[in-house]
Chain A
Amino acid sequence: MTRRSLAERLVLAVPFAWMALLFLAPLAIVVKISLSRSVIAMPPYEPAFDLSLGWADALDKLGQFSFAAYESLFDDNLYVDSYLSSLRLAGVATLATLLMAYPMAYAMARAPVAWRPALVVLAVAPFWTSFLIRVYAWIAILKDEGLLNHALMALGLIDEPLNIFGTDWAVLIGIVYSYLPFMILPLYNSIAAQDPALREAAGDLGAGPMAAFWRVTLPLSRGGIVAGCLLVFIPAVGEFVIPDLLGGSDTLMIGRTMWTEFFDNRDWPTASAATIVLLALLLIPLALYDRARAAGTERVL
């Protein structure tokens, strides 16, 4: 064991301090609020700690913590339905994003080396414009008298405008569009990193282009697929802006339900409890991924 110098320790401490400050501290606050009671006051929950009242007071208030907010999540079906609907929409959207992104990432990774940086820039080019504005733009495209319906009717493909805007379909389209780069980039990386000799070896051994893809390229891009799906699925589950702008009144997503709870009902404890449950739900796919990865180093396909 070598002793680390003070400078080394400081350098190592920075990311931990960063995590503690920006991740753990807010999380602790949310957990704390989720264990409180909702009141009509400022702040709108009890107990509120005030260190000027001394430690005894703080300890006393600790005893007032309760799981009431968590229980209230199950008072009606709203939360459970929101969770399920969010998971379903995010799952379908993730799958659709994967199916769209894979051919794009594949084409990018197989493009001449000189073009690739430009293609990567193009893939992330949408980020140059505000996310909000881009989602707004989809309203103009999807609404009944929008660009898409005009185009389809002009082409004679449909007689009546399609009612997409204000439905789950619009939310799906919005999620796929917004999160596409997050899927493309890890896929591109994992495909571009593959030794081209592997594909040649597959061909040499008698695999046609399709067999080489299914047996070699696709399995070797598994890491990129998993990373891309997590990067899309996790934020998509909690998405608020897209369902709010593109979805209808009956589009149920947990982000929207929490928004209503926080800002309309001013029930911070329930909203916080909903957040913590969502976090716990999202830890499941992460844990599965981690297990799969750990097993992958042992297991042979």
Chain B
Amino acid sequence: MDPSAPLVSVQNVVRSFGGVKALDGLSLDVFRGEFFALLGPSGCGKTTLMRAIAGFEAPDGGRVLLDGVDLGDTPPHKRPVNMVFQSYALFPHMSVERNIAFGLEREGLPRAEVAARVDEMLTLVQLGDERRRRPDQLSGGQKQRVALARALAKRPRLLLLDEPLAALDRKLREETQFELKRVQRRLGATFMLVTHDQDEAMTMADRIAVMRAGRVEQLGAGADVYNRPANRWVAGFVGEINLFEAAATADCAAGASCAFQLDVGLTTTPLHCGEAVAKGQRVAVAARPEHIALSRAAPDQPGPVGAVSDLAFRGDATLARIELPSGFVVRALLPNASVGGARFARGDRVALSLAAGAATVLTS
């Protein structure tokens, strides 16, 4: 088997519920050993995609291949794929170790082998002391770990995790994110994680598929999705961003750089254009709040000047909202560590500038 071939290949999968297309011709590939995240708003079809891969939903169209083999009508219990359910779905009448052993016994493994693997999993998720407890005697984080151990014990070729951390509080979630990452690296397993928390996707995943209404809007490494959003929707969905309406100042070939004239009255430094842009063509220039700089406005300041309408303290930084005379609101993130830096108060008049090369040109 070609090691560079995808482990899972989802090809043009369609799944409709009544009139709603939960999956609308979706395609994506997941590679061996990868930590892959599905990120998207509620109802965009993330769970449906996972269920189609696990075999709980039969696609109306398209195929799901695992190691190049069409899974077709293979029932869930015959797929070498395991799932961690959002509700964990632990068997309430079985102890932690019986839960973990369940899948191994179904394979007909010898007792000794089952016991050895259960021990291995209990060590992995650090639940050795809780092995005889029942699920209702466990905390949320412990249940999550049992669900993970139960699925991993089967040594699946692909592990599907449907928002496994959604029910955990913030601190535990961070710890568990770290744990999941550790386990995945140690086993060299392929994980596919569903989340609608972009920080979680960024922290954990090697690659992220940003989904919207049953389709993939952008697929790439977290940094790419964050720094080079493919379109206005992704830019708006992933992180905070300012979208400036703008026009090209010159013809620009695909891959070349050129300056843009923002409608707010600012000309950018040359920006990389993914697609060819004609002079005067309308585009959006997307700039993260951390790439907007503020300075105290002189009375005859050229360029965009606005008033600080709001300041939100965020610990390491402060998010400022600046209202321009046109009513357009720009968000700027000001690091608090810069002790010598300017401090602003509400109502201050400030001038805006864009960090060189830090914005993205969006033609769609």
Residues of A within 8 A of B (CB): 195, 197-198, 200-208, 211-212, 215-216, 219-220, 222, 300-301
Contact = CB atoms under 8 A, between A and B. Distances in A.
Closest 9 pairs between A and B when the two form their complex, measured CB to CB: A205-B103, A206-B106, A201-B89, A197-B89, A203-B76, A300-B95, A203-B77, A206-B77, A219-B93
A208 B151 CA distance: 16
B87 interface: yes
15 contacts: A197-B89, A198-B91, A200-B56, A201-B83, A204-B81, A204-B83, A204-B151, A205-B82, A206-B78, A208-B75, A300-B98, A300-B132, A300-B133, A301-B93, A301-B94
- Per DSSP, chain A at the interface is helix
A91 B250 CA distance: 92
A196 to B, nearest CB: 9
A195 B132 CA distance: 23
Contacts of B95: 300-301
Contacts of B92: 198, 220
Question: Which among B55, B76, B82, B134 has the greatest number of chain A C-beta atoms within 10 A?
Answer: B76
Contacts of A203: 55-56, 75-77
B77 A208 contact: yes
Contacts of A212: 77
A205 B154 contact: yes
Given A205-B150, A205-B154, 15 more contacts: A195-B89, A197-B89, A200-B85, A201-B83, A201-B85, A201-B89, A202-B91, A202-B102, A203-B75, A205-B102, A206-B103, A208-B77, A212-B77, A300-B133, A301-B98
B107 interface: yes
B54 interface: yes
Contacts of B89: 195, 197-198, 200-201
Contacts of A300: 94-95, 98, 132-134
Tell me which of B89, B102, B132 has the highest count of chain A C-beta atoms within 10 A of its own C-beta: B89
Nearest to A200: B56
B71 to A, nearest CB: 14
Interface in B131-158: 132-134, 150-151, 154
Of A203, A208, A215, which is in contact with the most chain B CB atoms at under 10 Å from its CB?
A203
Contact of B82 (A195, A197, A204, A301): A204
Contact of A216 (B81, B87, B91): B91
Contacts of B55: 203
